[in-house]
Structure 1
């Protein structure tokens, strides 16, 4: 029976980590796409493009956690603290992997919005970042950190 209980716990942990990683991917993808589109449209260089994309990824990533906490009646300072605690390592991992991949793809940073290379490398980078971030979220949640902290605040 203990084996079955451990299997259910592992499945629950994996599911929670998967949902946390999808949550992180959503915020990062919104920020990355918006940042790259804005920077590319404005003709910004690589450093400015990456900086804007990362800043927006963190903004949207934290916002996707912060807004529901505020709607649940959690005071702003506490909600912000929870968002920072639950998302920082996850977003950081996703952004490092995502941007490293984009920088490694020849021509990706020079590709325009109409180029398939721009979109293909962006999609591939986010997919690879998702795979790299899942074990980070799983590790955090297993230790009562990351999105486990947010779930406790919601009373789940």
Structure 2
């Protein structure tokens, strides 16, 4: 029998995003952060690689990385929401609500790390410093953004907005 589910209906085996008292679990927050980090990392790495390979100024490389991180971050969220049959305009609104703060925090962290590690932005694509700094910046962004996502999910915001479409 087919029936529609509301935003708060749960399926067997589906875990709730919040625990008692409106607090999200660390596991849920880490999963949401990892999802967000995936899109951010694709855009961030692509932007850094394009900017470095093209010899762009550091500011232009960072701007490109940030723009691509948002594009890929939103696109990954929208992909799942669109699969749930949500119209494009609504899916975009869901992605914006779900991911904007998380992506913004990640981008502040990882780009700050990249520009503050001496030589990281000027290192070439074959340089271990470039890739090590980039990997470290993304790892630090994950660690710092996870509590942010936990706080947002516990208040019914961020990734909690997407939960209704899973």
Distance 1:95 1:63 in 2: 16
- Greater length-normalized contact order (CA 8 Å, ≥ 6 residues apart): 2
Normalized per residue, which structure has more helix? 1
Compute the TM-score of the two structures, normalised by the length of structure 1.
0.90
Distance 1:9 1:118 in 2: 43
Is residue 26 of structure 1 aligned with residue 27 of structure 2?
A: no
Deviation at 1:9, TM superposition (A): 8.4
Distance 1:87 1:124 in 2: 22
- Counterpart pick for 2:149 among 122, 137, 142: 137
Q: Which runs of 5+ in 2 are unaligned?
A: 1-17
> What's the Cα RMSD here?
1.9
Compute the TM-score of the two structures, normalised by the length of structure 2.
0.85
Residue by residue, what CA displacement relative to the aligned partner does 1:32-87 show, whole Å, maximum 9, x if unpaired?
A: 11111111111101011001000000000000100111111001111110000000
Residue by residue, what CA displacement relative to the aligned partner does 1:90-143 show, whole Å, maximum 9, x if unpaired?
A: 000000000011111000010000000000000000000101100010000000
Is residue 17 of structure 1 aligned with residue 29 of structure 2?
A: yes
What is the correspondence of 1:76-91 to structure 2 with a 5 Å cutoff?
A: 76-91=88-103
Is residue 51 of structure 1 aligned with residue 78 of structure 2?
A: no
Q: How many residues align?
A: 149
Distance 1:143 1:7 in 2: 11
Q: Which runs of 5+ in 1 are unaligned?
A: 1-5
Distance 1:61 1:52 in 2: 14
